Amino acid sequence: MRFNIRLFILCIIILNCLSLIALNSSLHQEGEFSGKEQFYKQIVWIFVFWIVILVFYFINYRVYFNLSFYIYILSIIFLLGVKLWGKEIMGAQRWIPLGEFNFQPSEFSKLAVIILSARILSLDVKRAIFFRKLILPLILISISFILIFKQPDLGTAMLIFLIFFMMSLSSDIKKRYIIYMLILGLVLLPLIWVKLADYQKKRVIVFLDPNVDPLGAGYTIIQSKIAIGSGKIFGKGFLAGTQNQFNFLPERHTDFIFTVIAEEFGLIGSLFLLWIYGNILKNILNKTREVKDNFGQFLCIGIFSLLFLQIFINIGMTMGLFPVVGIPLPFLSYGGTHLLITAISLGIFLNIVKQW
């Protein structure tokens, strides 16, 4: 199967439209369009999104190979910066205010990790592959991990590890080394548990059984499941989701935007969305095969992993398959930084497409 650029662009435009539809609905309350401002902001963001794609489309992706360490160091500086000048929203320090816009350094870290990993994994080394391609990058990424984990943002912290592991799975490192590392990670999980904030522990506990705290930590997941399930096959219709419109569902324009789609457009709508995502992901993999440059290939896999993991974890989270962690749904969730990072990733990818 060859990469199909027209289909790829069309799918992204469809996602932009779906994002606006779902946001429009989620920003309504009892038939009143109460979140107009955010909706118009998102329209502006979608314009910015395409401009960013266009800008990065014209930047030769090989530049990043040489810049990869500097980019990574910059991401670490950003993370330290957020520690010093960060703005606290809802108990977490994740944002650096830049005028109207709150920049989220941990989003930038995702990209930095992808570029760094692509460089390390694409190097042609003969000796000490295990150390140079697995241990060394893991140590480097751990710095970001700890800084993001401390914000606290468990979801993004885990995500950067998972992105790296997915990329390493496609490399020439022996699979069993990777599996050893994963097992080591599992063994170290209790250590992380001790370091978790109370609200994070609660989230994990209610993930195992949401009913232990139906009005607290378990609330969102219970209401989200009710919303998704009650959509049934055909959904309740646009602006007719009761969980959404009557305000039973928190965070519905950001992390739980999928729930709005599932409630109002049912299984049909949800499957359509997954099909569009599937098309985009499939096209990225198809292109990866055609790329004759190792670094380019790993960049593609990194971008693929970033999109796939976020889609999988976010949608899984809305159905209680994963604990509630702050991972947005690519293209759909409201919010600037993650859309910007998605745009940069796509711009880089399209430049690779242009080159090959």
Partner 1 sequence: MDIKLIRNLSLGGLIILVISLFYYQVIKGDMYLNRAQANYIRVVSKEAIRGTILDRNYETLAYDRGAFNIAVIPYQIKDNKEELFSKISRLAKVKKETLTINYNRNFRSPFYPVDILIDIDKEKALALKEELGEEVIIEEIPQRHYPFGKELAHILGYVKRGVNVSNNSDVYGYIPYQRVGLAGIEKYYNNYLAGRDGGELLEVDALGKIAGFLGANHPKKGKDIVLTIDLRLQRIAYQLLSEYKRGVIIVMDPRDGQIHVFCSQPSYEPNQIMRGVDFDSILKAEDNILLNRGIQARYPLGSVFKPILSIAGLEEKKITSNTTFICEGRYRLGNLSFECRSAHGKQNLIEALAHSCNVYFYNVGAILDIDKIAKWAKKFGLNTLTGIDLPYEKSGIVPDQHWKITNIKSPWFKGDTLNVSIGQGYLEATPLEVLVAISAFANGGYLVKPHLVKEIEGENISLSPSKFLDLSLSHINEVKKGLEAVVSWSNGTAHLLDTLKLSIAGKTGTAQTIGKSHGWFVGFFPSSSPKYSICVFLENVGSSSEAVKVAYDFLKEAKNKGIISQEEIKR
| C-beta of 261 vs 339, nearer to partner 1 | 261
Q: Which of 55, 229, 240, 355 binds partner 1 (CB under 8 A)?
A: 229
Does the footprint of partner 1 cover residue 101 (CB under 8 A)? no
Q: How far apart are CA 252 and CA 260, in angstroms?
A: 7
Does the footprint of partner 1 cover residue 237 (CB under 8 A)? no
Check if the beta carbon of residue 198 is closer than 8 Å to that of residue 174: no
How many of the other CB atoms lie within 10 Å of CB of 103?
20
Name the amino acid, one letter, at 227. A
Does the footprint of partner 1 cover residue 281 (CB under 8 A)? yes
Determine phi and psi for 104, rounding to 5 degrees. -115, 100
Q: Which of 232, 237, 354, 355 binds partner 1 (CB under 8 A)?
A: 232
Query: How are beta strands 87-89 and 32-33 bridged, if at all?
Result: unpaired
Q: Which residues contact 224 (CB under 8 A, 6 or more apart)?
A: 249, 256, 259, 318, 319, 320
| C-beta of 81 vs 216, nearer to partner 1 | 216
Q: Which of residues 163-202 bind partner 1 (CB under 8 A)?
A: 166, 169-171
**Strand-by-strand arrangement of the 92-98 sheet:** 87-89, 92-98, 101-103
Q: Which of 230, 239, 254, 279 binds partner 1 (CB under 8 A)?
A: 230
Instruction: Provide the sign of the torsion angle of the four alpha carbons 142, 147, 148, 152, taken in this order.
Output: positive
| C-beta of 94 vs 252, nearer to partner 1 | 252
- Selected range binding partner 1 among 60-68, 72-80, 282-290, 340-348, rule: CB under 8 A: 282-290
Q: Which of 267, 276, 279, 356 binds partner 1 (CB under 8 A)?
A: 267
| Chain residues in the site for partner 1 (CB under 8 A) | 29-30, 166, 169-171, 214-216, 219, 223, 225-233, 242-243, 246-248, 262, 266-267, 270-271, 274, 277-278, 281, 285, 288-289, 297, 301, 304-305, 308, 312, 315-316, 319, 321
